[in-house]
Structure 1
Amino acid sequence: MNEFRHKGGNTIIKKTINKGVSFGSVLAMVISYTTWKSILWAIIHGILGWVYVIYFIFKHA
């Protein structure tokens, strides 16, 4: 379902943000599970999303 509007650019921005949030959550869950081998921590970190990804980068880089 793609929506392209010339006057309503908000639809495209909302879809982009939603996809970015989803990707951040999945990335956080994969990093968490790979690091801690715990489904509970993966769920918690998935809720935090990009916050955990950025934390992980600073902590382990």
Structure 2
Amino acid sequence: MNGNRYYGVRVEGAKYGVGFGSALAMAISYPENHSILWAIVHGILGWLYVIYFALARS
């Protein structure tokens, strides 16, 4: 029973992390590119765009 609870917490955490990464990528992309299409593409790519943005800015 204890193993199932741990698994459920991991799945929920991963689900919220993916959603947050996509929203963050879209929020960063639109002001930078002024394009809804690019914001959607970056939202689909999620964390890859967030990491690229962080590395490109430094």
TM-score (normalised: structure 2): 0.91
TM-score (normalised: structure 1): 0.87
- Structure with the largest fraction of helix: 2
Quick one: which of 2, 7, 11 aligns to 2:3? 7
The answer for unaligned runs of 5 or more in structure 2 is none
The answer for unaligned runs of 5 or more in structure 1 is none
By relative contact order (CA 8 Å, sep 6+), the higher-ranking structure is 2
Question: Deviations for 1:1-60, whole angstroms, at most 9, x for unmatched residues?
Answer: xxxx63311111000000000000000000000101110000000000000000011011
Paired-residue identity, %: 49
Quick one: which of 20, 25, 43 aligns to 2:22? 25
Quick one: which of 12, 35, 56 aligns to 2:32? 35
Runs of 4 or more consecutive aligned structure 1 residues displaced over 2 Å after TM superposition = none
Q: Number of aligned residue pairs: give it.
A: 57
Superposition RMSD on alpha carbons, in Å?
A: 1.1
